[in-house]
């Protein structure tokens, strides 16, 4: 575990620690040192060193102002304690601190690089919303662009001999996440690809191997014009395949309503839920044209939940889900945007079956582009896994 010392002018550090405790509770590896108007630099240095003496080998100082006394004294301590791996960060904000305590890294340098990126990415300016979209535009400094470039293409690709082995790997990850955080927020795509994962999790719940009593689940997308009673809708599949067998309560479920008369309100509601809760894990499937959720080729990258016009390919493929409604004509959908998808702490993209082989090859070979939305997952700074079975991965080595 990396120990963290927050320090800054006035009660800056005390305020951050108070906010942190409100959100995640007391953190034993986090200390704070104030630098009040009545304090001398010597007094500040003394208290910082006392805090440092309580830490292990891996330490990060989070300071407020580059070149200020808290920053300078932290740097001096870094030089005085070469036996410790100490990193010093300035410009600390609350998302950066929150990210620091939520990461599992045990290396100060690795953690520092990650949380600086997170802190910068959390800075947004309000952008006037279009008719159907809500979102914020990120402020991208030259430095943050360089960091993102170094971290690009961290998506790990793994090929499995069969669907069973692939499913076991995904289920093991979900089990670990729920075990570590009982009230985890999970997001599942619906359809054929993730169904084996859902079936296995239902089996585990029934046998007492996993506890879903506090888990919250968010929907990824939904077609406009269908609801829970429509066979083939995302709501219908998720409830029948997953929620009902798991015996989830309604207060654990947040899905898009494809029958709503107020799309703007529906989008805003989902955005607020994710802003408040975040996403711990998201399981995705990949469309034949590379779409993720209902984010089609040419989609906007920096948006939250939004309304989407469906491509001709998606409209053709989706007919298999609505066999009982042969006359159903669906042209639009609601989906989480890539800003939210990429914010998930753990991302798993699944592809199974020979018919997905060509799009899998394209995703592996191409740099991130919104023309192949699945490639945008390579821009994630979080754990991102691309699991394919032997048939879907037959064109890649």
d(CA 252, CA 101) in angstroms, rounded, equals: 25
Provide the β-strand partners of residue 307.
Answer: 334
Q: Of 3, 296, 345, 389, which is the active-site residue?
A: 296
As a residue count, the chain comes to: 397
9 in active site: no
Q: What is the DSSP string of 33-66?
A: EEE-TT--HHHHHHHHHHHHHTS-SEEEEEESST
Q: Of 3, 64, 73, 221, which is the active-site residue?
A: 221
Helices and strands in the chain, H and E counts = 14, 16
296 in active site: yes
Decide the pairing of beta strands 332-335 and 346-351. Answer: unpaired
Q: Of 291, 295, 306, 346, which is the active-site residue?
A: 291
221 in active site: yes
Provide the β-strand partners of residue 349.
Answer: 284, 386
291 in active site: yes
Pick from 20, 27, 16: which is nearest to 91 by CA?
16
Q: Of 32, 271, 289, 295, which is the active-site residue?
A: 289
Q: What is the DSSP string of 89-156?
A: E-S--HHHHHHHHH-----HHHHHHHHHHHHHHT-EEE----SSB--EEEP--HHHHHHHHHHTT-PE
Active site residues: 221, 289, 291, 296
């Amino acid at each position: 575990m990396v120990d963290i010392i927050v320090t800054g002018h006035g009660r800056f550090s005390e305020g951050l620690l108070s906010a942190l405790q409100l959100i995640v509770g007391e953190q034993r590896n986090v200390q704070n040192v104030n630098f009040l108007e009545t304090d001398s630099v010597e007094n500040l240095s003394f208290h910082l060193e006392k805090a440092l003496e309580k830490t292990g080998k891996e330490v990060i100082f989070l300071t407020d102002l580059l070149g200020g006394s808290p920053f300078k004294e932290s740097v001096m301590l870094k030089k005085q304690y070469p036996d410790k791996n100490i990193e010093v960060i300035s410009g600390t904000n609350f998302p950066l601190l929150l990210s620091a305590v939520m990461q599992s890294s045990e290396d100060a340098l690795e953690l520092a690089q990650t949380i600086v990126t997170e802190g910068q990415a959390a800075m947004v300016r309000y952008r006037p919303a279009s008719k159907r979209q809500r979102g914020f535009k990120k402020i991208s400094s030259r430095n943050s662009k360089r960091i993102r470039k170094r971290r690009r293409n961290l998506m790990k690709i793994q090929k499995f001999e069969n669907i069973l082995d692939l499913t076991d790997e995904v289920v093991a990850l979900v089990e670990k996440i729920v075990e570590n955080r009982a009230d985890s927020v999970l997001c599942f795509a619906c359809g054929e690809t993730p169904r084996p994962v859902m079936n296995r999790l239902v089996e585990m719940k029934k046998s007492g191997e996993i506890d879903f009593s506090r888990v919250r689940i968010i929907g990824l997308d939904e077609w406009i014009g269908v609801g829970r009673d429509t066979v083939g809708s995302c709501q219908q599949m998720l409830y029948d395949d997953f929620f009902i067998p798991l015996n989830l309560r309604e207060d654990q479920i947040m899905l898009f309503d494809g029958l709503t008369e107020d799309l703007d309100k529906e989008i805003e509601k989902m955005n607020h839920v994710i802003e408040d809760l975040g996403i711990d894990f998201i399981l995705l499937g990949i469309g034949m044209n590379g779409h993720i959720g209902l984010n089609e080729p040419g989609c906007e990258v920096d948006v939250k939940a939004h309304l989407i016009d469906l491509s001709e390919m998606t409209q053709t493929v989706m007919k298999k889900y609505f066999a009982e409604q042969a006359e159903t004509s669906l042209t639009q959908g609601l989906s989480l945007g890539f800003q939210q998808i990429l914010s998930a702490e753990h991302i798993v993209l699944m592809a199974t079956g020979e018919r997905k082989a060509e799009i899998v090859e394209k995703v592996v070979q191409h740099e991130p582009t919104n023309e192949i939305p699945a490639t945008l997952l390579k821009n994630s700074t979080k754990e991102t896994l691309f699991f394919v079975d032997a048939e879907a991965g037959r064109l890649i080595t």
